Amino acid sequence: MIKSKDLSKIFETKDTRLVAVDNINLDIGPGKIVGLLGPNGAGKTTSIRLLSTVYRPTSGGAIVAGFDIIKDPLSVRSSIGISTETPTIYPRLTAMRNLQYFADLYDVDRNSRDEMIEELLMKFDLYDVKDKPVSSYSKGMTQKVSIIKAVLHDPSVLMLDEPWSGLSPEATRDLREFIVQLANKDRSILISTHNLVQAEMIVDQLIIINRGRVIIDSTPDKLRKQYSVNPIIKMRLDNFNDDIVSNLDFVRDVKTVNNHHTFFIDSFEQTPDLVKHLVSEKARIHTIEEVIPSLEDIYLQLLDKEELR
């Protein structure tokens, strides 16, 4: 559903040259949920803008929803739904007016248009405020309107840029479930996000980009195995400093926030040795927890490595 070949975008002015996207090759099939990760300025939004035909590639190309982004951008636009990082909803208009406008632009059948919009508004808990101007909405409510806008023409490819931004925990869960439902209907979904906790729960594939280049393209499981990320021990400690464990070979790294310490060790079998050592050094242990590394932990560890800097 999304297939790119050496997709590149270079922004050039008289004095500057910025390679925003550098020869990206993507292959996202139907029914797949793909997370696009990377630090700020990595090229995530530019990639989405290229695939959604907002930007024209400097070189390379892509087929999105069966259409060429260069030769047939209008068909690409008709077949995709996009929710941008900053919700592009007209603040002076009501949610209903906004959605009717986009439904008309996307040729949604006029006879069923309002009924369908109202159904989605109900699903996203916005029905009661549908006739109020969007300017009176919270950030999360505006975000929901933006997501409804992206799906109301039932696109075969959905691109969501930071979809969980500003959403409450229950709305976050509802959106997660909604995305999975769409994937079950064979929709291809590309999610650019920093919310790795949410992404981990639903993505089938992970693409990490930096400086415009794909660094990692894998599944979460493969990623864990591939990068053999260290197990983690989280502790709340007093009377501790990093020097205490500096002579322990199996402690790979320690991260500290106030008295909360995260130890990256070789294996959980070494936990008792670590505890014994800390006690012997008179550190006071309040709590201790063994944690299987999450996607976020993997990402942060990778970020610490040179390749993501």
CA distances from 280 to 92, 256, 272, 274, 276 (A): 65, 20, 12, 10, 6
Return the range that interacts with another protein (CB under 8 A); candidates 93-101, 169-177, 212-220, 233-241: 93-101
Question: What letter represents residue 52's amino acid?
Answer: S
Single out the segment in contact with another protein by CB under 8 A; choices: 88-96, 169-177, 214-222, 296-304.
88-96
Determine if 86 is a binding residue for another protein (CB under 8 A). Answer: yes
Q: Is 82 in the site for another protein (CB under 8 A)?
A: yes
From the CB of 105, what's the least distance to another protein, in Å? 5
**4, 8, 84, 172: which one binds another protein (CB under 8 A):** 84
**What is the spatial distance between Cα 81 and Cα 148, in angstroms, rounded to a whole number?**
9
- Torsion over CA of 65, 192, 28 and 7, rounded to 10 degrees? 80
Give the CA diameter of the chain.
Answer: 75
254 - beta bridge partners? 263
- By beta-carbon proximity to another protein, the closer residue of 90 and 127 is 90
C-alpha torsion sign, points 41, 44, 48, 51: positive
Helix, strand, or coil (residue 296): helix
Binding characters for another protein, 97-136, by CB under 8 A (x = yes) = x---xx-xxxx-------------------------x---
Which bin fits 135, alpha (ψ -120 to 50), beta or left (φ > 0)?
alpha
- The least CB distance from residue 162 to another protein, in Å, is 13
Tokens describing residue 296: 């976020």
Please, are residues 26 and 62 in contact by the beta-carbon 8 Å criterion? Answer: yes
- Report yes or no: 204 and 36 within 8 Å, Cβ to Cβ: no
Range 57-76, binding another protein (CB under 8 A): 74-75
Of 5, 10, 19, 78, the one binding another protein by CB under 8 A: 78
| By CB under 8 A, residue 55 contacts another protein | yes
Report the residue number, 82 or 274, with the smaller CB distance to another protein: 82
Q: Check binding of 187 to another protein (CB under 8 A).
A: no
Closest approach, Cβ 159 to another protein, in A, equals: 9
Cα distance between residue 49 and residue 84, in whole Å: 9
Contact residue for another protein among 8, 53, 142, 188 (CB under 8 A)? 53
> Which one-letter amino acid corresponds to residue 218?
S
Q: Stretches 46-54, 219-227, 242-250, 280-288: which one binds another protein (CB under 8 A)? A: 46-54
What's the token pair of residue 233? 């021990």
At 21, list the tokens.
Answer: 């996207």
- The CB-of-171 to another protein minimum distance in angstroms stands at 21
Q: From the CB of 209, what's the least distance to another protein, in Å?
A: 19
Q: If binding is defined by CB under 8 A, does position 257 make contact with another protein? A: no
**107/249 with CB nearer another protein:** 107
Q: Which burial class, exposed, middle or buried, applies to 255 when counting CB atoms under 10 A from its CB (0-12, 13-18, 19+)?
A: middle
Which of 10, 19, 63, 93 forms a contact with another protein (CB under 8 A)?
93
Using DSSP's 3-state secondary structure scheme, residue 143 falls into helix
Question: Is residue 156 near another protein by the rule CB under 8 A?
Answer: no
Interface contacts to another protein, rule CB under 8 A: 49, 52-56, 74-75, 77-78, 80, 82, 84, 86, 88-93, 97, 101-102, 104-107, 133, 149
